[in-house]
A and B are shown apart, each in its own frame.
Chain A
Amino acid sequence: MLELKNISKIYNPGTVTEMCLFEDFNLKVRDGEFISVVGSNGSGKTSMLNIICGSIPINGGEVLINGKNINRLKEHKRYEQMGRVYQNPALGTCPDMTILENMSIADNKGKPFGLGFALNKKRYEFYREQLSSLGLGLEDKMNIKLGSLSGGQRQAVALLMATMTPLEFLILDEHTAALDPHTADIIMELTDKVVREKKLTAIMVTHNLRYAVEYGDRLLMMDRGHIILDKSGEEKANATIDDILDIFNRISIECGN
Chain B
Amino acid sequence: MLDLIISTVTQGFIYALLSFGIYITYKILDFPDLTVDGSFPLGAAVTAVLLLKGVNPYLTLLAAAVVGAIAGFVTGFIHVRLKVRDLLAGIITMTALFSINLQIAGSNLSIERGIDTIFTSPVAMTLLGSATLLVRKLIISLIILIICKVLLDLYFKTKSGYLLKAVGDNSTLVTTLAKDMGRVKIIGLVISNALVALSGAVVCHEQRSFSSTMGTGQMVFGLATVIIGTTIFRNLSFVKGTTAVIVGSVLYKICIQIAINLGLPANLLKLITAVLFLIILVIGNFHKGTVRKNAGA
List residues of A whose CB falls within 8 A of some B CB. Answer: 74-77, 79-80, 82-84, 86, 90-97, 101, 104-106, 108-119, 162
Contacts of B158 in A (CB 8 A): 114-118
Known A90-B170, A91-B172, A91-B173; contact A105-B163, beta-carbon cutoff 8 A: yes
User: CB of B177 within 8 A of chain A?
Assistant: yes
A250 shortest CB reach to chain B, Å: 36
Q: Are A76 and B180 in contact (CB under 8 A)?
A: yes
Contacts of A96 in B (CB 8 A): 165, 169
Secondary structure dominating the interface of A = loop
> Bound complex: CA of A86 vs CA of B179, how far in Å?
18
Interface centre among B155, B158, B179 (most CB of A within 10 A): B179
User: CB of B176 within 8 A of chain A?
Assistant: yes
Which residue of chain B has its CB nearest to the CB of A171? B176
Q: Are A113 and B169 in contact (CB under 8 A)?
A: no
Which residue of chain A has its CB nearest to the CB of B179? A76
Contacts of B181 in A (CB 8 A): 76
Known A91-B172, A118-B157; contact A109-B162, beta-carbon cutoff 8 A: no
> Bound complex: CA of A109 vs CA of B173, how far in Å?
11
B24 shortest CB reach to chain A, Å: 15
Q: Are A104 and B178 in contact (CB under 8 A)?
A: no
Contacts of B163 in A (CB 8 A): 105, 113
Number of interface residues of B (CB under 8 A): 22
Q: Are A110 and B178 in contact (CB under 8 A)?
A: yes
Known A74-B180, A96-B165; contact A116-B172, beta-carbon cutoff 8 A: no
Contacts of A112 in B (CB 8 A): 159
User: CB of B161 within 8 A of chain A?
Assistant: yes
Contacts of A76 in B (CB 8 A): 174-175, 178-181
Q: Are A115 and B159 in contact (CB under 8 A)?
A: yes
User: CB of B166 within 8 A of chain A?
Assistant: yes
Known A97-B166, A97-B169; contact A118-B176, beta-carbon cutoff 8 A: no
User: CB of B108 within 8 A of chain A?
Assistant: no
Contact of A79 among B159, B165, B170, B175 (CB under 8 A): B175
Q: Are A94 and B166 in contact (CB under 8 A)?
A: yes
Listed A/B pairs (10) with beta-carbon separation below 8 Å: A75-B175, A77-B178, A82-B176, A91-B173, A97-B162, A109-B178, A116-B158, A117-B158, A118-B158, A118-B159
Which residue of chain B has its CB nearest to the CB of A88? B172
Interface centre among B158, B159, B169, B176 (most CB of A within 10 A): B176
A251 shortest CB reach to chain B, Å: 32
User: CB of B56 within 8 A of chain A?
Assistant: no
> Bound complex: CA of A112 vs CA of B169, how far in Å?
20
User: CB of B107 within 8 A of chain A?
Assistant: no
Which residue of chain A has its CB nearest to the CB of B177? A109
> Bound complex: CA of A79 vs CA of B180, how far in Å?
11
> Bound complex: CA of A6 vs CA of B169, how far in Å?
37
Q: Are B159 and A114 in contact (CB under 8 A)?
A: yes
The 8 closest A-B pairs by CB, nearest first: A94-B169, A113-B159, A79-B178, A118-B162, A80-B178, A118-B159, A109-B177, A96-B169
Contacts of A75 in B (CB 8 A): 175
Contact of B160 among A86, A91, A113 (CB under 8 A): A113
Contacts of B179 in A (CB 8 A): 76, 113
Contacts of A79 in B (CB 8 A): 175-178
Given contacts A97-B166, A113-B159, 17 further A-B contacts (CB under 8 A): A75-B175, A76-B175, A76-B179, A76-B180, A83-B176, A91-B173, A92-B173, A92-B176, A96-B165, A96-B169, A105-B173, A108-B177, A115-B158, A117-B159, A118-B157, A118-B158, A118-B161
Q: Are B160 and A114 in contact (CB under 8 A)?
A: yes
Q: Are A86 and B157 in contact (CB under 8 A)?
A: no
> Bound complex: CA of A95 vs CA of B161, how far in Å?
16
> Bound complex: CA of A108 vs CA of B166, how far in Å?
13
